[in-house]
Amino acid sequence: MILPFALQEVTYLEIIRKLSLEIIPGPATIVLGANGAGKSVLLRLMHGLLRPTSGAVRWSGDNPARKQAMVFQKPVMLRRSALDNVRYALELAGSRDPSAEALAALKEVGLAALALRPARVLSGGEQQRLALARAWALHPEVLFLDEPTASLDPSATREIEAVIRAFDSAGTKIVMATHNLGQARRLGDEVLYLHQGRVLERGPVEAFFTRPATPEAAAFIKGELPWV
């Protein structure tokens, strides 16, 4: 187990300021906050794509980088088939039977029929599901998601949410940034509310939405809800 992991006084430029927190296994964690609050940067610091200016990210187990995956707002597809995109990740991870495992992952997200299509001609929703299949194949202990449905229509969003739920059911810890407050309530167990690089509030989802403790969070919920 690489969980729990902790941020110790992590600072990144002017964006994240002396942030300390612990992430435990179990509840799906939703990172909320306005544009520019530092959500994406926070996820990248956790995942190790950015190095903190000061402070540190501490994981519990050995080789944590291998046991986590990340899905980005804009899916990044290699110019090869859907199957080969998943297989590539498995080969890097040292899988013994990458082809079979890749196909199984595609089945999980409902893309088996499109396995041999070039990944980059798939629709936006399909590409994001493929990105999730690539993460699924790795059986990560932690999955970071950075606004995975931000540019998708409602039906594609529903499909993505179903896959994220499957990760959650399979025991993967979800850490997701989103702008969609409805989605935060549907998928989340706890909320991290980020404001100007600091965690202003942290608590169960329902409590956050019904009884926000800070005026900033209250204003954020009020301002965001009309667009859900």
Where are the alpha helices (H) located in the chain, listed in sequence order? 39-47, 82-92, 98-108, 124-137, 154-169, 181-187, 205-210, 215-224
Q: Can residue 66 be called a binding residue for another protein (CB under 8 A)?
A: yes
Q: Can residue 70 be called a binding residue for another protein (CB under 8 A)?
A: yes
Residues 17-46 interacting with another protein (rule: CB under 8 A): 44
User: 29-32 and 173-177 as β-strands: parallel, antiparallel, unpaired?
Assistant: parallel
List the beta bridge partners of residue 29: 175, 190
Which of these ranges, 22-30, 51-59, 62-70, 152-160, lies near another protein under the rule CB under 8 A?
Answer: 62-70
Q: Can residue 129 be called a binding residue for another protein (CB under 8 A)?
A: no
Q: What angle do CA 41, 45, 98 make, to 5 degrees?
A: 110
List the beta bridge partners of residue 23: 5
Interacting residue with another protein among 4, 6, 27, 88 (CB under 8 A): 88
Residue 218 in 3-state DSSP?
helix
Interacting residue with another protein among 4, 21, 72, 158 (CB under 8 A): 72
Residue 178 in 3-state DSSP?
coil
Task: Supply the minimum distance, in Å, between the C-beta of residue 220 and another protein.
Answer: 27
Between 37 and 89, name the residue whose CB sits nearer to another protein.
89
Which of these ranges, 4-12, 16-24, 106-114, 118-126, lies near another protein under the rule CB under 8 A?
Answer: 118-126
Binding site for another protein (CB under 8 A): 44, 47, 49, 65-66, 69-70, 72, 76, 78-80, 88-89, 92-93, 118-121, 134
